[in-house]
């Protein structure tokens, strides 16, 4: 995921104290009571997933008046962190920041140590974060339409960078190729930063990068932004059109939700769901999420479960067709 500066994280954390809210009703079991709750972030500290996780943890702590600890358990494209939840207690004391990989990894890996469809209860989607389609400054295209025309006139000539095989950045590029009917070569990197460096240097032609990672280069004029990858425009980037305006139906994003281990009692799940819906509507949360160009989402179990199912269908079909595999 994209790296966010330590200053941005601490700025966001400081803002949490500005807007206390009424506490949502607690479960009949007394959850959370005085138990310490762990919010498990399946990525390293400092990235967008971590920032969202800390926003969620801060607001739950304020709502529930109980200790909330963020635990970063990274590795294997979020599999290690998700496995921790799948094999952990089913009592609400561990809350997963659900990443897009819950809908992707089962198609990339021959075997997972957990069942992504049955070992978790998706509770609520809380944020969506767009990718931005950017091209190197010297490439003579100024719109998505220009890019498609150039790619069709020069099949196989363009290449696009990603932060690694199987990431949302990689899959955004593959989905664009399929839906736009163009041929481009994929260049995977170990993370977003080296990919961006080569894009700025003109070593690669384009990229579908997470907004927080690339927005500084866009604003600095070292790359050209052609559009955002979400189906609807984002007010956080009002000057950018959507790719979907040229490629109807194109829709990709990084997104984050909350979930728990399957078997967690329903009253505990309902308490977390109410809290997630409440925090997504707080002005302080909107302000803090804006620091990583994320939009809060008000959601529930039913809509989040349906959303993940749709993501599995979209990415599963693409990954299977392209025979993308990771070890």
Q: Per-domain residue ranges for the chain?
A: 6-128+253-322, 131-245
Residue pLDDT, tens place only, 62-79: 999 999 999 999 999 999
- Whether 6-128+253-322 shares its CATH topology with 131-245 is answered yes
182 pLDDT higher than 60? yes
Q: Look up residue 38 and give its two tokens.
A: 């762990």
Domain covering 6-128+253-322 assigned CATH 3.40.50.1820 in the classification: no
Supply the pLDDT for residue 127: 97
Work out the burial of residue 169: count CB atoms within 10 Å of its CB; fewer than 13 is exposed, 13-18 middle, 19 or more buried.
buried
Nearest to 30 by CA among 283, 308, 267: 267
DSSP secondary structure letters along 218-262:
HHHTSEEEEEESSSS--TTSTT--BGGGTSTT---EEEEEEEEET
Q: Look up residue 142 and give its two tokens.
A: 């100024």
CA 70 – CA 67 distance, rounded (Å): 10
Q: In the structure, what pLDDT confidence band is assigned to residue 200 with cuts at 50, 70 and 90?
A: very high
Mean pLDDT within 308-327: 95
* φ/ψ of residue 197, rounded to 5: -55, -45
Supply the pLDDT for residue 27: 45
| pLDDT above 90 as % of the chain | 87
Q: In the structure, what pLDDT confidence band is assigned to residue 144 with cuts at 50, 70 and 90?
A: very high
DSSP secondary structure letters along 12-30:
HHHHGGG---PPPPPPTT-
Residue pLDDT, tens place only, 207-226: 999 999 999 999 999 999 99
Ramachandran area for residue 51 (φ above 0: left; ψ -120 to 50: alpha; else beta): alpha
302 pLDDT higher than 50? yes
Supply the pLDDT for residue 241: 97
Fold classification of 131-245 (topology level): D-Maltodextrin-Binding Protein; domain 2 (3.40.190)
Report whether 155 contacts 181 (CB < 8 A).
no
Mean pLDDT within 158-174: 95
Supply the pLDDT for residue 195: 96
Q: In the structure, what pLDDT confidence band is assigned to residue 123 with cuts at 50, 70 and 90?
A: very high
Report whether 70 contacts 41 (CB < 8 A).
yes
Q: What stretch of H or E contains 185?
A: strand 185-188
Supply the pLDDT for residue 171: 96
Handedness of CA 168, 13, 124, 32 (dihedral sign): positive
Q: In the structure, what pLDDT confidence band is assigned to residue 259 with cuts at 50, 70 and 90?
A: very high
| pLDDT above 70 as % of the chain | 91
CA 51 – CA 216 distance, rounded (Å): 18
């Amino acid at each position: 995921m994209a790296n966010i500066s330590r200053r941005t994280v601490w700025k966001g954390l400081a803002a949490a104290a500005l807007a206390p809210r009424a506490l949502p009703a607690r479960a009949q079991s007394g959850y959370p009571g005085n138990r310490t709750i762990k919010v498990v972030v399946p990525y390293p500290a400092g990235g967008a997933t971590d920032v969202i996780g800390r926003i969620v943890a801060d607001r739950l702590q304020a709502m529930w008046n109980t200790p909330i600890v963020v635990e970063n358990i990274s590795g294997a494209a979020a599999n290690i962190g998700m496995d921790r939840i799948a094999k952990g207690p089913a009592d609400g004391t561990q809350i997963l920041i659900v990443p897009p990989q819950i809908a992707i990894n089962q198609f990339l890996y021959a075997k997972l140590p957990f069942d992504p469809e049955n070992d978790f209860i998706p509770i609520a989607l809380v944020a969506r974060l767009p990718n931005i389609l950017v091209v190197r400054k010297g490439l003579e295209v100024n719109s998505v339409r220009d890019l498609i025309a150039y790619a069709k006139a020069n099949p196989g000539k363009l290449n696009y960078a990603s932060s690694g095989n199987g990431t949302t950045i990689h899959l955004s590029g593959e989905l664009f190729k399929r839906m736009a009917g163009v041929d481009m070569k994929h260049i995977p990197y170990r993370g977003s930063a080296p990919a961006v460096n080569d894009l700025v240097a003109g070593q690669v032609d384009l990229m579908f990068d997470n907004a927080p990672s690339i927005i500084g280069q866009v604003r600095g004029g070292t790359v050209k932004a052609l559009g955002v990858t979400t189906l609807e425009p984002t007010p956080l980037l009002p000057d950018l059109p959507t790719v979907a305006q040229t490629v109807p139906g194109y829709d990709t994003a990084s997104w984050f939700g909350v979930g728990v281990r399957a078997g967690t009692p329903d009253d505990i799940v309902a308490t977390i769901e109410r809290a997630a819906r409440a925090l997504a509507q707080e002005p302080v949360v909107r302000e803090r999420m804006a620091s990583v160009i994320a939009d809060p989402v008000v959601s529930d179990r039913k809509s989040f479960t349906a959303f993940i199912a749709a993501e599995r269908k979209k990415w599963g079909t693409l990954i299977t067709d392209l025979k993308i595999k990771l070890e």
